[in-house]
Amino acid sequence: MSEILKISGLGPIKNIKIEVKPLTILVGPQASGKSLVAQVLYFFRTLRSELARRYTPDMDSAKSWQNEVVRKILDELRGEPFGYFANKTARISYENAKKGNNWSVSINSSNRRVTVNPDLKKDMAQWVDLWNNDSDKLFYETPEETVFIPTERTLLTKFFESEPSILFSKYQPLAFRRFADRLAGAQRHNKYRLKLKKKSPEKIHPRFEHILKAQRRALKGDAYIPETGPQVWKFRIYPGGKEKILPLAILASGQMEAWPFFAVAASYGVFKNLKMSFIFEEPETHLHPAAQRIIMETITFLVHWTHPFFMTTHSPYIIYTVNNLMQTHISYSGKVPEEKAFLNPKDVAAYRLTSDGEAASIVDKETGLMASEEVDATANQLGREFDELLDLEEGRG
Amino acid at residue number 262: F
47/117 Cα distance (integer angstroms): 14
50 assigned to some structural domain: yes
Same domain membership, residue 235 and residue 220: yes
81/109 Cα distance (integer angstroms): 10
240/235 Cα distance (integer angstroms): 16
Position 221 pLDDT exceeds 90: yes
Among candidates 331, 280, 290, 6, which has minimal Cα distance to 146? 280
268 assigned to some structural domain: yes
307/269 Cα distance (integer angstroms): 7
Same domain membership, residue 224 and residue 86: no
Task: Report the pLDDT value the prediction gives residue 194, as an integer from 0 to 100.
Answer: 67
Which three-class secondary structure state does DSSP give residue 281?
A: strand
User: How much is the mean pLDDT over the chain?
Assistant: 89
Same domain membership, residue 306 and residue 265: no
Provide the pLDDT confidence category of residue 26 given band limits of 50, 70 and 90.
very high
Same domain membership, residue 284 and residue 138: yes
Provide the pLDDT confidence category of residue 137 given band limits of 50, 70 and 90.
confident
| From 19-23, 194-198, 292-296, the region with the lowest mean pLDDT | 194-198
Same domain membership, residue 308 and residue 294: yes
Burial of 170 (0-12, 13-18, 19+ CB in 10 A): exposed
Cα dihedral 183, 188, 193, 194 sign: positive
Task: Report the pLDDT value the prediction gives residue 229, as an integer from 0 to 100.
Answer: 75
Provide the pLDDT confidence category of residue 366 given band limits of 50, 70 and 90.
confident
Q: What is the mean pLDDT of residues 233-242?
A: 89
Position 1 pLDDT exceeds 60: no
- Between residues 259 and 164, the one the model is more confident about: 259
φ/ψ of residue 195, rounded to 5: -70, -40
Q: What is the mean pLDDT of residues 1-20?
A: 94
pLDDT cut 90: percent of the chain above it: 59
pLDDT cut 70: percent of the chain above it: 91
Same domain membership, residue 389 and residue 318: yes
Same domain membership, residue 174 and residue 95: no
Domain boundary among 251, 274, 297: 274
383 assigned to some structural domain: yes
254 assigned to some structural domain: yes
Task: Report the pLDDT value the prediction gives residue 56, as an integer from 0 to 100.
Answer: 93
Burial of 43 (0-12, 13-18, 19+ CB in 10 A): buried
Task: Report the pLDDT value the prediction gives residue 325, as an integer from 0 to 100.
Answer: 94
141/355 Cα distance (integer angstroms): 41
CATH for 111 = 3.40.50
Task: Report the pLDDT value the prediction gives residue 303, as an integer from 0 to 100.
Answer: 94
Number of domains in the chain: 2
150 assigned to some structural domain: no
Task: Report the pLDDT value the prediction gives residue 207, as an integer from 0 to 100.
Answer: 81
Amino acid at residue number 285: T
Dump pLDDT digits (tens) for 310-339: 999 999 899 999 999 999 999 998 888 888
Cα 329 to Cα 19, 34, 150, 323, 334: the distances in Å are: 22, 28, 30, 10, 5
Same domain membership, residue 219 and residue 100: no
Task: Report the pLDDT value the prediction gives residue 396, as an integer from 0 to 100.
Answer: 67
Q: What is the domain range of residue 82?
A: 1-145+277-397
Provide the pLDDT confidence category of residue 90 given band limits of 50, 70 and 90.
very high
Same domain membership, residue 189 and residue 125: no
Same domain membership, residue 82 and residue 8: yes
Same domain membership, residue 215 and residue 66: no
pTM for the predicted model, two decimal places: 0.92
257/263 Cα distance (integer angstroms): 12
HSE-up (13 A, CA, CB side) for residue 248: 23
- Phi/psi region, residue 156 (left: phi>0; alpha: psi -120 to 50; beta: rest), is alpha
Dump pLDDT digits (tens) for 54-70: 999 999 998 999 999 99
Same domain membership, residue 129 and residue 192: no
16 assigned to some structural domain: yes
Domain boundary among 274, 296, 318: 274
Per the document, the length of the chain is 397
Task: Report the pLDDT value the prediction gives residue 226, as an integer from 0 to 100.
Answer: 81
Those residues whose C-beta lies under 8 Å from the C-beta of residue 71, and which sit 6 or more positions away, are: 82, 112, 113, 114
Position 363 pLDDT exceeds 70: yes
Domain boundary among 257, 274, 291: 274
Dump pLDDT digits (tens) for 373-386: 765 666 666 667 76
φ/ψ of residue 192, rounded to 5: -65, -40
